[in-house]
């Protein structure tokens, strides 16, 4: 078995169905790859859907379910544990692979060997309707657009280890210790990328391994993401104190604004400002309304100013939440 595709999922059966159907149309021989779906405790009929597809399609499709939601890190780890392939290809459940994705990932490892991770070219899905807000943050990730990757395409930084569409040797994953399950749904993949890079692994950009991402986002989802990033960045830094500056760790690659690359005194000031804003939620409510208004009239200065304030607020709010959690332990 050459390759195992690992897909974590939670309560998105309809979009998961599209993801799986795309994987049933691969150019690579179906006897040489398998698909493992790990259900992170879904309640929407995901189990019934996958099991019906297991019966109706002549493909190596396996299903495992976590009884309680534990996050994508735990789901991916379970998939790696049961994988038969020498290579593990991680895909998100809202990603539709092109017909040659599996073949291109295998070819990448044939060319560069086992000590690489192959980052596929993940584009926005052509059917995805871009809202004015999404157009504003259209830099959802440089991994979506090869022209925005400024680094050496044959040795990308660790924060390009993005599990929407990336493959790596199963042996290397096990040696590195898999995904750290202490992380929230943010930075669990980058943190593993950091450990893999520390062990000498290179991240290669495989521009021919094309997949399409259906990931609509609005301001509220973005703010929730920022909150999770704030928590995850603090966990990351505590686990890897050898990273002296935050700018070595984050590159704003997924549309999130990370202000923690500032010096420590500036971080402390941001915390104090956030604490003040926490006591006045009306301020945040009004800023969100202003963002929507300024984007609708295309007033760039206005929405940038308000957006940066709100993004920093939720980021530092997450950091404070994680700090308080640690103090209670």
User: DSSP of 120-174, one letter per residue?
Assistant: EEEEEPTTPPPPHHHHHT--S-GGG-GGG--S-TTS--GGG--TTEEEEEHHHHH
Please check whether residues 53 and 177 belong to one and the same domain: yes
pLDDT at res. 43? 93
Please check whether residues 205 and 225 belong to one and the same domain: no
Residue 65 buriedness (CB in 10 A; 0-12 / 13-18 / 19+): middle
CA distance 319 to 35: 36
pLDDT at res. 124? 83
pLDDT at res. 99? 97
Q: Are 117 and 168 in contact (CB under 8 A)?
A: yes
Helix (H, G, I), strand (E, B) or coil at 29: coil
* Domain termination residue (choose one: 156, 187, 213): 213
Task: Provide the pLDDT confidence category of residue 12 given band limits of 50, 70 and 90.
Answer: very high
Mean pLDDT of the region 183-188:
86
pLDDT at res. 164? 93
Mean pLDDT of the region 170-194:
93
Token digits of residue 41: 């405790």
Which one has a higher pLDDT value, 244 or 250?
A: 244
Please check whether residues 34 and 84 belong to one and the same domain: yes
In which domain, by residue range, is 229 found?
219-328
CA distance 329 to 324: 9
pLDDT digits (tens, 9 = 90+) for 48-93: 999 999 987 778 999 999 988 999 999 999 999 999 999 999 999 9
* Domain termination residue (choose one: 167, 187, 213): 213
Q: Which of 163, 153, 251, 156 minimizes the C-alpha distance to 207?
A: 153
Please check whether residues 107 and 204 belong to one and the same domain: yes
**Quick check: 247 pLDDT over 80?**
no
Please check whether residues 7 and 75 belong to one and the same domain: yes
Q: Which of 194, 171, 168 minimizes the C-alpha distance to 183?
A: 194
**Quick check: 117 pLDDT over 60?**
yes
Token digits of residue 260: 């923690």
* Domain termination residue (choose one: 185, 213, 241): 213
CATH number at residue 96: 3.90.550.10
Please check whether residues 186 and 232 belong to one and the same domain: no
Lowest mean pLDDT among 60-74, 181-195, 308-322: 308-322
Please check whether residues 193 and 264 belong to one and the same domain: no
**Quick check: 203 pLDDT over 90?**
yes
Please check whether residues 77 and 206 belong to one and the same domain: yes
CA distance 259 to 280: 22
Please check whether residues 104 and 178 belong to one and the same domain: yes
Please check whether residues 56 and 195 belong to one and the same domain: yes
Percent of the chain with pLDDT over 90: 48
193's CB contacts (< 8 A; 6+ apart) are 117, 158, 159, 160, 161, 203
Task: Provide the pLDDT confidence category of residue 270 given band limits of 50, 70 and 90.
Answer: low
Which one has a higher pLDDT value, 316 or 61?
A: 61
The residue with tokens 């209670």 is 328
Mean pLDDT of the region 235-252:
65
Work out whether strand 87-91 and strand 165-169 pair parallel, antiparallel, or are unpaired.
Answer: antiparallel
pLDDT digits (tens, 9 = 90+) for 272-303: 555 555 555 656 776 777 777 666 666 667 77
CA distance 314 to 288: 12
Mean pLDDT of the region 111-116:
93
Torsion angle of the four alpha carbons 45, 1, 4, 158, in this order, in degrees rounded to the nearest 10: 170
119-138 burial by CB neighbour count: b if 16+ within 10 A, else e?
bbbbbbbeeeeeeebbebbe
Q: How many domains does the chain have?
A: 2
Lowest mean pLDDT among 25-39, 183-197, 260-274, 289-303: 260-274
Please check whether residues 201 and 259 belong to one and the same domain: no
HEC string for 248-310: HCCCCCCCCCCCCCCCHHHHHHHHHHHHHHHCCHHHHHHHHHHHHHHHHCCCHHHHHHHHHHH
Helix (H, G, I), strand (E, B) or coil at 186: coil
- The DSSP secondary structure of 79-133, one letter per residue, reads HHHH--SSEEEEE-TTEEE-TTHHHHHHHHHHHH-SSEEEEEEEEEPTTPPPPHH
Please check whether residues 47 and 174 belong to one and the same domain: yes
């Amino acid at each position: 078995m050459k390759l195992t595709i690992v897909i974590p999922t939670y309560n998105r059966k309809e979009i998961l169905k599209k993801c799986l159907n795309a994987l049933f149309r691969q150019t690579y021989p179906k006897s040489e790859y398998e698909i493992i779906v790990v259900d992170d405790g879904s309640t929407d009929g995901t189990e019934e859907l996958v099991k019906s597809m297991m019966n109706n399609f002549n493909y190596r499709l396996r299903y495992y379910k976590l009884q309680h939601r534990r996050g994508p890190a735990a789901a991916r780890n379970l998939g790696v544990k049961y994988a038969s392939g020498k290579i593990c290809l991680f895909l998100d459940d809202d990603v539709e692979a092109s017909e040659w994705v599996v073949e291109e990932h295998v070819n990448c490892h044939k060319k560069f060997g086992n000590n690489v991770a192959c980052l596929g070219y993940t584009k926005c899905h052509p059917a995805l309707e871009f809202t004015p807000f999404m157009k504003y943050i259209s830099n959802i990730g440089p991994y979506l657009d090869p022209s925005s990757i400024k680094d050496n395409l044959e040795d990308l930084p660790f924060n390009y280890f993005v599990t929407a569409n990336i493959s790596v040797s199963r042996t290397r994953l096990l040696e590195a210790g898999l995904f750290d399950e202490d992380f929230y749904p943010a930075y669990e993949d980058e943190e593993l990328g950091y450990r893999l890079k520390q062990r000498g692994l290179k991240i290669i950009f495989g521009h021919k391994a094309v997949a399409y991402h259906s990931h609509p986002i609005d301001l509220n989802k973005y703010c929730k993401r920022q909150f999770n990033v704030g928590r995850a960045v603090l966990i990351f830094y505590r686990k890897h104190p050898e990273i002296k500056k935050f700018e070595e760790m984050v590159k704003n690659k997924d549309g999130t604004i990370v202000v923690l690359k500032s010096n420590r005194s500036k971080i402390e000031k941001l915390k104090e400002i956030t604490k003040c804003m926490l006591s006045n939620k009306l301020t945040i409510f009004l800023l969100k309304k202003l963002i929507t208004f300024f984007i609708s009239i295309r007033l760039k200065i206005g929405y940038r100013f308000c957006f940066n304030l709100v993004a920093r607020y939720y980021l530092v709010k997450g950091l404070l939440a994680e700090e308080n959690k640690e103090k209670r332990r």
